[in-house]
Structure formats: C-alpha cells, structure tokens
A and B are shown apart, each in its own frame.
Chain A
Amino acid sequence: MVQIIITSVEGGPAEWLLVELQGEMVARQNTGLAKNLMGDLHFTNEGVPVLIVGHHILYGKQVKLEKPFAVLVKHTVTPQGSEVAVETDSERLTRYTVSALIKKKLIFKTRPKPIITNVPKKV
C-alpha cells in the first residue's frame, strides 16, 4: 500500500483566486499558452468582474466557494544514490505540498460578447 503525504505550510498557505471559464483556451498561433497574455481583468464599481480576452468581453460574478479548494503540487522524488535500478513506481516517493487555498472564484458563465473594431464605413 502507498501512503502519500500532503504537507501544508506552517501558518497556513497563501490565498489564490480561481477564475472559472466555460470552454477551452487555445493559443492563437499554436505556440502553447505559456508566457502568453490571457486578458485584462476589470471590476466595475459594483464589483462585477469583466474579462477582456482577445476580441471578447465576458461578464462574470464573484462567488464565495462553499467548499474551498487546496491547490496541490506534486513532487516525485527518486531515492538519491540508489544503486538498484528503479524498476517500479513504488520505488519513487510521491508527495504533495499545498501551494495555496482558494476560497472564492470569479465565474464567467455568460456568452462572450464580441468586440467589434474597425467597423468599415459605408462608402
């Protein structure tokens, strides 16, 4: 049997924000998402979150999570200086650390509104 430990941080982990979107995110040029701009996040004076992503505007809602999330990071550790070849998964120790807690989310459920630019004037 396996025992996998999930360790927390003394004093408790930091709080992160969750942004929930419907659908998928795909990078424009198939370069992958990493390091790319996702969008601008605004809040109205009433606290409504507004996301401008590419050519779309999304209006969302801030919701307190009934069940908070812990964000876990997986670490796989191979025993150092082991002379025996690592044959099975059980030789490697898996553990998780809690990076953060998420207690609220911004959820964008409404259909994105397209931003129309360059509306050509009728000649």
Chain B
Amino acid sequence: MRTLEQVHATVKIAKLKEEELHPTVHCLTFGENVASGDYCLLELDSTLCARIEAGHSLTIRGDKDEHAVLCTESKTYDLRIADTSNLLLFVPGCNTPDQMTGDQTHPQLVHSQISGFSNSYWEVRPRRPKLKKLKKLLMENPYEGPLVRTVEDSDQNSPGYTMGDLLDRIQASEVEIIAQLKNIHACEIDGYWRVLDFDYEMKLLGFVTQLVDSESWSFGRVPLDYCLQELGPLEPKEMIEHCLNCYGRRYIDEGGEVCFALDEEKVCQAMAQMLLQNAVKFNLAEFLEVWQQSVPEGMTTRLDQLRSLALVDRTSRPETISLLRVEDLPEDTQERFNFLFSMREKWSEDDIVPYIRDLCGEKQTTGALLTKYARSSMQNGMKVYNSRRPMST
C-alpha cells in the first residue's frame, strides 16, 4: 500500500509545491470488481433525486419491443442511454476540501477505491404516460350488466385485470393509471377493473335521466338514496352510484343528504355519442335538433361540447357531422398527424387543436406541435394546416 512518504516523493518529482496543496491526499486504486460492469449511472432530475433520497423506489416498465420508461408513483419518464466520450469513475467516500472535517493541518493519506467506471449513462426525460393500451385491455371484456354472463368468464382464468395486472402491462405510473380509469368510467368489480359496455352505460344513464324528468328534479340536485331506492330493482346499486359518479359531482346538501349535480357537458356528450355512433355521418341540422331533444329537461346542447368527440364538415352541402373521438386516434404524435391529414387534407386551427392537445408534453403548446408537424397556409383569409409530407389521397 502506498505511503505518505511515497506520495510526497511523487509530489516533489512532479514539481508541485507542498505548501500550495491541501494536506489531505487521496490515493486512488481500482477496486476488485471495478470492471465487472454491474454498475450503471442513472441521471436524475430534482423530483427523482428527492424520491431516492426519501428511500422510495422507481420502476422501469416495458415490453421487449417497446422503449423502456421509468415511473415513480405519479410520473412517467422516457429512458434512453447516452454515451459520453469521457470516462466516468465513481469513488465512494472521497471528500472534497469543502466536505473535509477534522484536522486540516497535518498531512493525511486517505486510501479510496474506485468501485466502478462507465462511459455511458441513462438519461431521463418526462413524458406523457402511454395509456391507450388501458382501454384496449379492458375492452376485451366490457361489463354488460349482472345478467349477462360473457363466454370468457368461464373460459379464462380471470375475467379481467387487477391494478397489479395493469401495472404489469401499462407504461405509466399508478397515479396516471388511476386517473385514466376514472376518465374512461371504469369501475372495480370483484377486484377487477372493468369498463362498461357503452350501451349498458347509456342504459344506466337513461334510467337516471328519466327519473330526474319524471320526478321533475333539477338536474343539479339528484338525491342518492331516492335514486337507489327507485332504480335498485332495475340495476345493481353499485352501478347506479357509479353512473352518478361518472356523470355528476357528489355533494352534501344543507339537509345533510348526499346528492349529485349532473354535469351538463358530460351528459350531452354521451347523448351525442349515442346518436352519432350508429351512422358514418349525420345531417348537421337534423342532428342538432334530435340531440337537443335527447337530453334532460333544462340541459342545453352546444356544438363546442363536442370538441375532440365529433367533427363537423362545413364544406359539404348539407353540412354534416360525424363521430371522431380523440381516444380512438393513434397515440404516437407523428402517426396521429398522419392519420388526421389522411382524413382531411387541410384543417383549421380550431378544428385540429382538440385532436392534438393531448399530445403536448410538459410545457409544450399545440402551436409548437403544429409548427413541427404541419405546414400552414392561407385559405379564404383563414389559416389552415396540412401535412408536411406528400399524402396519398
């Protein structure tokens, strides 16, 4: 082992002045397992660093043919390898002068071992979670109500996916998955997450709105108990309450009763989807009339409620409307733009924004996306966007 005398001898040979140097010297040697390659470096942002310092764990998720992502409980990051032309050595227990404590006057030799080295590291970048797969998985076996026994129930080992199963398959954090389950109106039945068959969901909503109408309630005050009492004989109470949770906001009124305020926008959207899904396109004027009639008394339908749900064609005579839901579109940004431009050559900003808003990363705007993925031009005094690539029609 190297001694202090040897170190000082080297300092002399190197023509360094001892009095200009800090008295503590580190003698660095390579550790036994230094070349084993078992170490790797992960670059952190402040959020990840804080989580690690608090003792929490992180999870890497991905299929063999997917790019891996890194997840905390609530965020998702892209994970990529970055190479550096430099050599990175990691040394435990090696203090820099600002960290040194104790006697700073007498010469000291500290033996430090280099435990590993690398010339690459993992880079992380925050990304939006990949959640499209979630609905796809749950749609394998939608819940159609208690009376319908699907064939799969008896054939498969399990009728669905638990949260653990979902975490095993979806490249997203748990918090993001839970938020998406709420978005798609999924509910947990017997420990399995289930999405409702659309017709069944509309059946439930229909029972609720018909009750509101027949009782002449304001749709802002739907009492839970009475609802369950009246509709309980028709459908499971949990399903009635689930429907109210999906389409309304729960609160307690002055009398201490649990009530729901139905959300006008959500109800109108559901009715529109119900009408539009059965045809390729609808005469716009006819649709608007039927749509208004289909919603509960007191609710007002407005076209802007259908942004990201339906697309109006104002160039056709008569004007038409068709179902186009953003959740049915490709998840990858370039594929999404390709799809939209293959549907329609030129888009106004107003029309296209609802279908690209979900693609925005942190601090990214739809404007930035359009600049990158589309080309703009003027048409009839209005700015329109088309594809950057030649599209085959």
Choose one: B11, B43, B60, B115; the contact of A69 (CB below 8 Å): B43
Q: Give the distance in Å from the alpha carbon of A9 to the alpha carbon of B51 in the complex.
A: 11
Q: Could you tell me if B44 and A67 are in contact, using CB atoms closer than 8 angstroms?
A: yes
In the complex, what residues of A have CB within 8 A of residue B63's CB? 1-2
Shortest CB-to-CB span from A55 to chain B, Å, is 9
Q: Could you tell me if A1 and B168 are in contact, using CB atoms closer than 8 angstroms?
A: yes
Q: Could you tell me if A101 and B39 are in contact, using CB atoms closer than 8 angstroms?
A: no
Highest count of chain A CB atoms <10 Å: which of B2, B21, B24, B45: B21
Shortest CB-to-CB span from A96 to chain B, Å, is 8
Highest count of chain A CB atoms <10 Å: which of B31, B38, B66, B85: B38
In the complex, what residues of A have CB within 8 A of residue B59's CB? 3-6
In the complex, what residues of B have CB within 8 A of residue A49's CB? 96
Chain A count of residues within 8 A CB distance of the other chain: 63
- Interface 1/0 per residue, B25-58 and A, CB below 8 Å: 1111111111100111111110011011111111
Q: Could you tell me if A41 and B28 are in contact, using CB atoms closer than 8 angstroms?
A: yes
Choose one: B30, B38, B54, B168; the contact of A33 (CB below 8 Å): B30
Known: A40-B25, A43-B96, A71-B90. A35 touches B32 (CB 8 A): yes
B169 at the interface (CB under 8 A from A): yes
Least CB separation from A6: chain B residue: B58
Q: Could you tell me if B30 and A12 are in contact, using CB atoms closer than 8 angstroms?
A: no
- Interface 1/0 per residue, A47-62 and B, CB below 8 Å: 1011010000100001
Q: Could you tell me if B21 and A42 are in contact, using CB atoms closer than 8 angstroms?
A: yes
Q: Give the distance in Å from the alpha carbon of A71 to the alpha carbon of B95 in the complex.
A: 17
Known: A38-B28, A43-B21, A69-B121. A99 touches B49 (CB 8 A): no
Q: Could you tell me if B94 and A17 are in contact, using CB atoms closer than 8 angstroms?
A: yes
B13 at the interface (CB under 8 A from A): yes
Choose one: A21, A22, A37, A43; the contact of B89 (CB below 8 Å): A21
> What 6 A-B pairs have minimum CB-CB distances, sorted nearest first?
A12-B53, A41-B26, A4-B60, A43-B22, A17-B94, A19-B89
B residues near A (Cβ < 8 Å) are: 2, 7, 10-11, 13-16, 20-22, 24-35, 38-45, 48-49, 51-64, 66, 85-98, 112, 114-117, 121, 167-169, 171
Q: List 10 A-B contacts (CB under 8 A).
A: A16-B90, A16-B94, A22-B86, A23-B86, A32-B35, A33-B34, A37-B2, A43-B21, A57-B14, A70-B52
